[in-house]
Structure 1
Amino acid sequence: MPDRYEIEQLVINDSFINYCFNRNPSDTAHWKNYLSEHPEEAATFAEARELVLGISLMLIETKEEEETAVIPMHPRRKNLQTLFAAAAIAAVIAVSTFFLFRNKPEVSTPQLYAFSTALAEKRTIKLPDSSTVILNAGSELLLDKDFGRKNRSVSLKGEALFDVQHDAQMPFTVGVEGYDVKVLGTVFNVKAYPGDKKSETSLISGKVEIYLKHTASAYKTLLPKEKFVIVKDLEALPASKAADIKPRTPSTTIMPLSYNRNQVNVETAWSQNRLVFENETFSDIRQKLERWFNVQIIFEDKVVEQYTFTATFEKEDINQVMKALQASYGFKYNIKGKEVKISHQNRR
């Protein structure tokens, strides 16, 4: 064991990396014990830990360009030292820069780490805390700039399935329009697309707390196989009247999760590449189809929007889906490029 650790040695040490992410109890105990015996190295350890977490987020940004963004920070992975060694040059540069500018005043710059999916795309992301997120089509996930260091806060626009690692000291929080979801370790689905009438949080296992915006205490606590639903107020108010009207309390409810006749969970079926409709109107499934296939659906008759469907699709394309749905009502449709026009059968 060296007389004194240098920052460059610590940032490529697997045991120290585990300590930084609190992954291995024996590694955590070892380095805490070492620090208690060598308090003079506390500043060095703190700087090294900041670099380890910074390199982790740098690796996130590098991997984001891949079709499946898997962040190489999983505790079962055996080549962590190789990954961090590859980033050692960046670490040395960061260390040099730190000592060069350490006496200059810091400028606080907001910095978020973003992941997004296009229409007809899904992406699996491994976060630095080993939590896993599957992003559905047309979604965006933002990590707080202090994620893994001071908090585990993310914000979501769209839909994602979360499998969160337990950490009682640092709860995981998902912020969406209208409310926050707070968890310690669990599996849950959040659907919060801008423009949708409803936002939902569906709990698969564990326990989550729902906090409405601007409230200090938990509004609802979900149990497994329950979902929280909030109906959005999408009516825009004129600017001249908005100040005189008190904001309306959103409509909320707790409901059981939905399952089809094959006991497939409707809320999370998308993460298994299943497109599931369970007694839903054409109007309701319109946006699902648009996101799933990257198309624009145009209803030429109001009556068509009220047709209801129960169906499950996996590998079908948009034309095959339309043909299958057509068997129920006999509507007409025309696909031209990414535009799908649908009309009533007797329309002239």
Structure 2
Amino acid sequence: MQDKDILFENLMNEYIAGSITDENKGILFSLVEKSELYRKQYDEMVKLYALLHVPAFEAQKDSKYTNLKERLHVSSGMTVGRKWVIYARNVAAVILLMVTVSLGSIITYEELDNSGDMLYNETTVPLGSQTKILLPDGSTAVLNSGSILKYPLSYGKKERNVYLVGEGYFEVAKNKEKVFQVHAGDMKVKVTGTVFNVRSYPEDLSAEVSLINGGVDVSVNNKYVRLKPDEKAIYNRGTGQLYSESTESYKSALWTTGRLSFVNTSFAEILKDIERKYNVKIHVESDKVEKEYFSGSINLEMSLQEVFNFIDVDKKYRFEVSGGVISVKDR
């Protein structure tokens, strides 16, 4: 049993470091799936690791992770059970510091699919925040406010599948042997290695994929488009239409840098983004909102009142707060 505990710990170290081989990853997944103890320990390690990949305090992230790894160093003669006690004790102070800046919650759970029980990691991003995730293959995903990303524990074994609700910016590690796919509702984005942004909030009429580098294939049911850099695919949920058009694709990812960018976007759609980013409820009581369109960008360091002043330069609207709800009315 002790040998198996040591094997599990070594494999987890490789997994967290991103140096694990396909063969060893298969062994690790087998151990996790067959042991409730290993499953719980895996869950805790993933959560702790994810805490160190939050965009806030990005400049301190690497040093904190290095310090954490140094503090977790113990001799190889100790059993996993004993090491786990020391592990939990040593990271307690770090967690107390990091949890205050963590912008996403990470869980591991089981879901039944066609192949039987499958373990998933899921990250949920609260309104008003965003979170960065490092996937096991070295790919990264930045999730926008109100988004959810999940991926199976078997990620990278044969394929690299992730499931997105909301908006995500992806930098995919190249691997022609293992296709990377984003499943966003009815829409699927298929790549081998590239940089792109996917926006697919269920409450929005349309979903979009903007390609920054590389190439992607976007499909919805039996419809398909192939994108080149500075092109985006648009899927209209109302009509079922899927098409592509030229765009300045870098603007689609400006939200990752603290800005919201709009190109001929209705005021109603902009207000939805403001709701998500500032975690507020906005009630529209004006017929003009649907008919007005804007192009430009908003600095998210501005206060909510400054944002409204910036957009409503002609002073057409009143923004009234009552019971925690902002009402948009005509003047």
* Distance in 1, Cα, partners of 2:172 & 2:74: 27
Out of 245, 261, 271, the position equivalent to 1:255 is 245
After superposition, the Cα gap between the structure-2 partners of 1:166 and 1:82, relative to the gap in structure 1 and judged at 3 Å, is farther
1:151 aligns with 2:148: no
Give how far 1:278 is off: 2.8
Could you tell me whether the CA contact under 8 Å between 1:226 and 1:254 is conserved in 2? yes
Match of 2:176 in 1: 168
* Distance in 2, Cα, partners of 1:169 & 1:200: 26
Give how far 1:148 is off: 2.7
Give how far 1:164 is off: 0.9
Give how far 1:335 is off: 2.7
* Distance in 1, Cα, partners of 2:293 & 2:255: 19
Give CA deviations for 1:218-267 in whole Å, capped at 9, x if unaligned. Answer: 8222111111110002xxxxxxxxxxxxxx7x2011111237xxxxx321
Unpaired runs of 5+ residues, structure 2, are: 34-38, 57-61, 85-114
Aligned pairs (5 A) from 1:97-112: 108-112=116-120
Give CA deviations for 1:297-326 in whole Å, capped at 9, x if unaligned. Answer: 222120243233333222112111112222
Question: Secondary structure, in 3 states, of the residue corresponding to 2:245?
Answer: strand
Out of 222, 225, 236, the position equivalent to 1:220 is 225
Match of 1:59 in 2: 45
Give how far 1:58 is off: 4.9
Match of 2:123 in 1: 115
After superposition, the Cα gap between the structure-2 partners of 1:336 and 1:45, relative to the gap in structure 1 and judged at 3 Å, is closer
Match of 1:17 in 2: 14
Match of 1:238 in 2: none
* Distance in 1, Cα, partners of 2:220 & 2:246: 20
Name the aligned partner's letter for residue 305 of structure 2: N
* Distance in 2, Cα, partners of 1:58 & 1:169: 30
Unpaired runs of 5+ residues, structure 1, are: 1-5, 33-41, 94-106, 234-247, 260-264
Match of 2:285 in 1: 300
After superposition, the Cα gap between the structure-2 partners of 1:325 and 1:48, relative to the gap in structure 1 and judged at 3 Å, is closer
Name the aligned partner's letter for residue 148 of structure 1: G
Match of 2:136 in 1: 128
Give how far 1:159 is off: 0.2
Give how far 1:91 is off: 11
* Distance in 2, Cα, partners of 1:199 & 1:335: 31
1:47 aligns with 2:47: no
Give CA deviations for 1:154-175 in whole Å, capped at 9, x if unaligned. Answer: 1000000011111222111110
Give how far 1:201 is off: 0.8
Greater strand content: 2
Could you tell me whether the CA contact under 8 Å between 2:29 and 2:153 is conserved in 1? no
Give how far 1:133 is off: 0.6
* Distance in 2, Cα, partners of 1:112 & 1:230: 27
* Distance in 2, Cα, partners of 1:89 & 1:49: 17
Match of 1:311 in 2: 296
Match of 1:191 in 2: 199
State the identity %. Answer: 25
Q: When the two structures are superposed, what TM-score results if normalisation uses the length of structure 2?
A: 0.71
Give how far 1:152 is off: 1.3
Give how far 1:90 is off: 6.3
1:324 aligns with 2:310: yes
Name the aligned partner's letter for residue 322 of structure 1: F
After superposition, the Cα gap between the structure-2 partners of 1:272 and 1:173, relative to the gap in structure 1 and judged at 3 Å, is same
* Distance in 1, Cα, partners of 2:50 & 2:216: 28
Give how far 1:66 is off: 6.7
Name the aligned partner's letter for residue 207 of structure 2: S
Give CA deviations for 1:43-73 in whole Å, capped at 9, x if unaligned. Answer: x996357559977665323345678289xxx
After superposition, the Cα gap between the structure-2 partners of 1:200 and 1:108, relative to the gap in structure 1 and judged at 3 Å, is same
Question: Secondary structure, in 3 states, of the residue corresponding to 2:269?
Answer: helix
Could you tell me whether the CA contact under 8 Å between 2:6 and 2:80 is conserved in 1? no
Name the aligned partner's letter for residue 287 of structure 2: K
After superposition, the Cα gap between the structure-2 partners of 1:222 and 1:81, relative to the gap in structure 1 and judged at 3 Å, is farther
Aligned pairs (5 A) from 1:23-38: none
Aligned pairs (5 A) from 1:329-340: 329-336=315-322, 338-340=324-326
Out of 276, 280, 299, the position equivalent to 2:265 is 280
Could you tell me whether the CA contact under 8 Å between 2:18 and 2:137 is conserved in 1? yes
Name the aligned partner's letter for residue 80 of structure 2: I
Question: Secondary structure, in 3 states, of the residue corresponding to 1:138?
Answer: coil
* Distance in 2, Cα, partners of 1:229 & 1:60: 34
* Distance in 2, Cα, partners of 1:230 & 1:219: 10
Give how far 1:343 is off: 1.4
Looking at CA atoms only, which structure, 1 or 2, has the larger radius of gyration?
A: 1
Number of residue pairs aligned between Structure 1 and Structure 2: 283
* Distance in 2, Cα, partners of 1:211 & 1:45: 30
